[in-house]
Amino acid sequence: MKYDAQDCILVSKKQLTSTVYDFRLKNQHLAEITKPGQFVQVLVPGKTLRRPISVCDVEDDIIRIVFEVRGDGTRIMSEMNVNDKVNIIAPLGRGFDIDKEKKTIFIGGGIGVPPMLYSARQAGKNAVVINGFRNKDAVILSEDFEKYVSRLIITTDDGSCGIHGFVTQPLEDEIHTAEMICACGPLPMLKNIAKMAKEHGVPCYVSLEQRMACGIGACLGCAVAVKRSDNETFFQHVCKDGPVFNAEEVDW
């Protein structure tokens, strides 16, 4: 079985910032088959469509997700309680192909930070993590990253924590020795990273978002434009072909 719709038990719920929540969902079977960079589709009571949320980490029989309240669906999710059943379809999509032997830079922007945790963990001491946030109040998961990786660099837009500026600033220094870049975050950030990676000839993989219905590749709702080798663009689907794409193939 590649994926299934199953109930999980919400075994722990933490509020990380005024709008960001950290859920641990217990389901042994689904946790066992989940890989870095994949996502889950969360059933939200009263909503027609499920909400796609990335896997932040897997700990034994636990799938951990970290999400920000953006609208009604994520607000309802934030009101779920410990011991509640949460139905998810998981694991979905193709994640990052991590090579432990290669120096890999993991870059997360804002709510794009959580999916980098499980991925960076795989690369361990060869991982350099750059996490960018608006300000110090938005900074999340630093202790978790420090547990797994040797280097964590924080940037904030207003300089209230770590480096003052965008993630691309420390990337300038690190990119010369990088063998691979993995990134998730706002589109303009990904676009800039992709450009730098191309200039330096470093393979770059980005995790993209799109509005979804089925989450498994059946409805063709979550299209993203990619370039064929002959430079023709065509549509692939974030839920099945992604969410991770080779930055060179994305039609920015």
Partner 1 sequence: MANLGVDIAGVHFNNPIIAASGTIGFGHEYSEFYPLSVLGGISCKGTTLKERPGNPPPRIAETPMGMLNAVGLQNPGVEHFIKNDLEWLKQQNTVIIANVAGSTQEDYCKMAEILSDTDIDMIELNISCPNVKEGGVQFGTSCESVGTITKAVRKYCQKPLIIKLSPNVADIAEIAKAAESEGADAVSLINTLTGMRIDIHTRKPIIKNITGGMSGPAVFPVAVRMVYQVKNAVSIPVIGMGGISTWEDAVEMMMAGADAIQIGTVLFHDPYAPIKIADGLNQYLDNHHMTSVTELTKSVIV
Ligand X SMILES: Cc1cc2nc3c(=O)[nH]c(=O)nc-3n(C[C@H](O)[C@H](O)[C@H](O)COP(=O)(O)OP(=O)(O)OC[C@H]3O[C@@H](n4cnc5c(N)ncnc54)[C@H](O)[C@@H]3O)c2cc1C
Ligand Y SMILES: Cc1cc2nc3c(=O)[nH]c(=O)nc-3n(C[C@H](O)[C@H](O)[C@H](O)COP(=O)(O)O)c2cc1C
Does 169 participate in binding ligand X (rule CB under 6 A)?
no
Contact residues for 246 (Cβ-Cβ < 8 A; gap 6+): 203, 204, 205
Nearest to 202 by CA among 184, 185, 181: 181
Least distance (Å) from ligand Y to the CB of residue 220? 7
Stretch that binds partner 1, among 57-65, 131-139, 143-151, 209-217 (CB under 8 A): 209-217
Q: Which of 111, 140, 182, 239 binds ligand FES (CB under 6 A)?
A: 239
Site string for partner 1, 211-250 (x = CB under 8 A): xxxxxxxxxxxxxxx--------xx----x----------
Written as six digits, the tokens of 37 are 């960079």
Does 50 participate in binding partner 1 (rule CB under 8 A)?
yes
Q: Are 105 and 182 in contact (CB under 8 A)?
A: yes
> Residue holding tokens 């072909």?
241
**Pairwise CA distance, residues 116 & 113, whole Å:** 6
- Under rule CB under 8 A, which residues in 86-105 are in contact with partner 1? 89
Least distance (Å) from partner 1 to the CB of residue 102? 32
Stretch that binds ligand X, among 61-69, 100-108, 134-142, 153-161 (CB under 6 A): 61-69
Written as six digits, the tokens of 200 are 């330096």
Choice between 10 and 213, CB closer to ligand Y = 213
Choice between 29 and 211, CB closer to ligand Y = 211
Q: Which of 85, 219, 235, 252 binds ligand Y (CB under 6 A)?
A: 219
Longest Cα separation, the chain: 52
DSSP reduced 3-state for 65: strand
Nearest to 62 by CA among 88, 99, 44: 88
Neighbour-count burial for 19-47, b at 16+ CB within 10 Å, e otherwise: bbbbbbbbbeebbeebbbbbbbbbbbeee
- Under rule CB under 6 A, which residues in 192-221 are in contact with ligand X? 209-212
Stretch that binds ligand Y, among 126-134, 155-163, 213-221, 241-249 (CB under 6 A): 213-221
Residues contributing to the site for ligand Y (CB under 6 A): 213, 219, 221
Residues contributing to the site for ligand X (CB under 6 A): 39, 49, 51-54, 66-68, 70-74, 111, 114-115, 209-212, 238, 243
